[in-house]
Chains A and B, each alone.
Chain A
């Protein structure tokens, strides 16, 4: 019915469309799986169930809350409304200090305990992650 050329072109377009759809699907799918959500201590308190996926928690490091031993650093993140205990066994960034803004990445144990796998390094002492600013701004 159709010439060979037309058929070929049709096939070509079909292949390209299929690949495009597949690509978009692949990207979106893995975005869904690998996205890390940011939550403030207050948001965590109001969670109905504890998710096993990785999240980020941000706020201030509470005054006098840092304690350290040979394999762990423990501290409290606060947004001045609610607090969460964090345990962390990894390298600490330079600007990690009491009373400074912080973002910790890791997993929730329950509503009060967070085990961090990474503490994000900041570049500048005056810098406050926008997420933290927002979390603190709600007070």
Chain B
């Protein structure tokens, strides 16, 4: 009850403070050389109010206050405490409040941590960020108030979708949001810097930190979502080119490209237009993703309620922001081409530029694959879907030169370069091809494109691996990230090529047998928990080497809401995962069994962690 009121009025107050900040910024902008203390304290107050409001929602969830509509729709008294808390952001209203929290947190940290930059720049960044913040305040209060009051108070809530009741998914939204929404601060400060024409090398090294933060969290957030999909959805894969995954990948691609551009800008003060456009693109893509997911156009676990009004609001807001930023870009940005900077074709700049083009290509493939079905539906009401073959076909051929560039690019020098150590560059290349050929030959997987792809990935792998040992390599963070990427591609390739799968229907006591694997369905147990009943199936599976493993995957039937989910049983080892998931078809005594052996699964996760670790190293590196 009381939480509802406090939470709601904090939101209103936060909105008012947001509006008053425009006024203070305007006053401060014209007549001061130092940042007005009022601005900092009001920004803090705004953050504080949003935190209060957020805590109110969390408390409402903890005490199961069903007079709150959001809590009623998404919680239940029998839910474990941990999932009561994580349920706070497991719904539309709560997750938008989290979005707002990240927005206000970032602008406060930005004002606090930014030194050595002009006051006008700080104020203008605040103004742009406040435009976004006020927009989201309005969105929250007008269309999706988390503190709606219901009377009479219901006795029991409707419960949280059971597949969201999972540790990885409990922390996935906050981590992802830090990256996804964190890109807003890049957007705001780029707009500010463009209008003040202060884009320079020192500005670049200042904004680089913020780009890195977003990038690290976005990478980890996507990873968590992917791990969750792997063990919870029971499809045994980690990436499905589902539109919802794509909308997280698109900002990541833009952000990664931006990260590379900002390095060039920091060193050479070129590619400014790239930096501006990419910063705008990253945040627009984040907003666009929110629009697609929340408007109910794309259907997924992220679509909480299909409300056209909400979709329309975000769409209009998105267009306003894009329009504003394009306006600023065209009116204020003059490329300082007076001191036209000439760089030789063989240089670090060129290689980064070329890889930018590749990234943009990947981005447009994902964008078209995601948006085209929606577009077609609107204009011709034809229902289509675009599957993985589309993405694979368009991406894989271009991945090859991309990987090679990733290996060679960092070896080049700025401005003009020659290949040094030609011998080892070439010899590594030959070794990679031979190795790839051998591996595939041994496993009767002799397909040309795979050989080439694996060789280029191996090439990057060897080159970056060597750099860890050779000389005190200057750019250790880059090397870690690129090494991680080569490992990622290799693991995905081997995982795809060598996964084996058995799908069969078994009754208790039956055995499935083929040349390599024997699956024996031993018995069925039952288990009763507070919020679900489980059927546990016990299997013993032996392979041709005589190794035997026991598996007990579960089928859970949650009571609030009544939904059945499969809990896969996964045995993870360094080299491969064994994955089994069961399902029971209604009114039948057959169990549907899916058993997979997936090599290098662990390495996919590890390599992504390694990639973001590269970012962390770069972030902590002492500079300035």
Given contacts A27-B364, A68-B590, contact A35 B581 (CB under 8 A): no
Is residue A2 within 8 Å, beta carbon to beta carbon, of the partner chain?
A: no
Which of A44-52, A77-85, A107-115, A124-132 touches B?
Answer: A124-132
Contact present for B590 and A91 (CB under 8 Å): no
Separation of A123 and B162 alpha carbons in the complex (Å): 9
Contact present for A94 and B387 (CB under 8 Å): no
Contact present for A30 and B390 (CB under 8 Å): yes
Is residue A121 within 8 Å, beta carbon to beta carbon, of the partner chain?
A: yes
Q: Which of B503, B512, B564, B583 is in CB contact (< 8 Å) with A89? A: B503
Q: Is the interface of B mostly helix, strand, loop or mixed?
A: mixed
Chain A residues positioned under 8 Å from B368 (CB to CB): 27, 31
Contact present for A92 and B163 (CB under 8 Å): no
- Binary contact track A82-105/B, C-beta < 8 Å → 1, others 0: 000000011111111110000000
How far apart are B360's CB and chain A's nearest CB, in angstroms?
Answer: 10
Q: Which of B386, B587, B594 is in CB contact (< 8 Å) with A34? A: B386
Taking Cβ atoms with an 8 Å cutoff, the residues of A that contact B are 23, 26-27, 30-31, 33-38, 56, 66-73, 89-98, 121, 123-125, 127, 129-131, 134
Chain A residues positioned under 8 Å from B382 (CB to CB): 37
Interface residues of B in 479-509 (CB under 8 A from A): 503-506
Chain A residues positioned under 8 Å from B585 (CB to CB): 66, 68, 73, 92, 96-97
**Number of chain B residues close to chain A: CB under 8 A:** 46
Chain A residues positioned under 8 Å from B394 (CB to CB): 26-27, 30
- Binary contact track B510-536/A, C-beta < 8 Å → 1, others 0: 101000000000000000000000000
Q: Can you list 29 residue pairs at the A/B interface with Cβ under 8 Å?
A: A23-B361, A23-B364, A26-B394, A31-B369, A31-B372, A34-B390, A34-B393, A35-B373, A35-B386, A38-B385, A56-B383, A56-B385, A66-B586, A66-B588, A67-B588, A68-B585, A70-B504, A70-B505, A70-B590, A73-B585, A91-B581, A91-B592, A94-B563, A94-B564, A95-B564, A96-B583, A121-B235, A123-B161, A131-B383
Chain B residues positioned under 8 Å from A96 (CB to CB): 583, 585-586
Chain B residues positioned under 8 Å from A70 (CB to CB): 504-506, 510, 512, 590
Contact present for B233 and A34 (CB under 8 Å): no
Is residue B365 within 8 Å, beta carbon to beta carbon, of the partner chain?
A: yes
Chain A residues positioned under 8 Å from B152 (CB to CB): none
Chain B residues positioned under 8 Å from A37 (CB to CB): 382-384
Is residue B565 within 8 Å, beta carbon to beta carbon, of the partner chain?
A: yes
Contact present for A123 and B163 (CB under 8 Å): yes
Q: Which of A34, A68, A73, A125 is in CB contact (< 8 Å) with B563? A: A125
Contact present for A34 and B389 (CB under 8 Å): yes
Interface residues of B in 353-406 (CB under 8 A from A): 361, 364-365, 368-369, 372-373, 382-387, 389-390, 393-394
Closest B residue to A134 using CB positions: B383
Contact present for A66 and B587 (CB under 8 Å): yes
Q: Which of B390, B563, B564 is in CB contact (< 8 Å) with A31? A: B390
Is residue B246 within 8 Å, beta carbon to beta carbon, of the partner chain?
A: no
Is residue B295 within 8 Å, beta carbon to beta carbon, of the partner chain?
A: no
Separation of A30 and B510 alpha carbons in the complex (Å): 44
Cβ-closest 9 pairs across A and B: A38-B383, A34-B390, A91-B594, A123-B301, A92-B592, A97-B586, A68-B590, A94-B564, A35-B384
Contact present for A90 and B564 (CB under 8 Å): no
Contact present for B384 and A36 (CB under 8 Å): yes
Contact present for A123 and B300 (CB under 8 Å): yes
How far apart are B178's CB and chain A's nearest CB, in angstroms?
Answer: 24
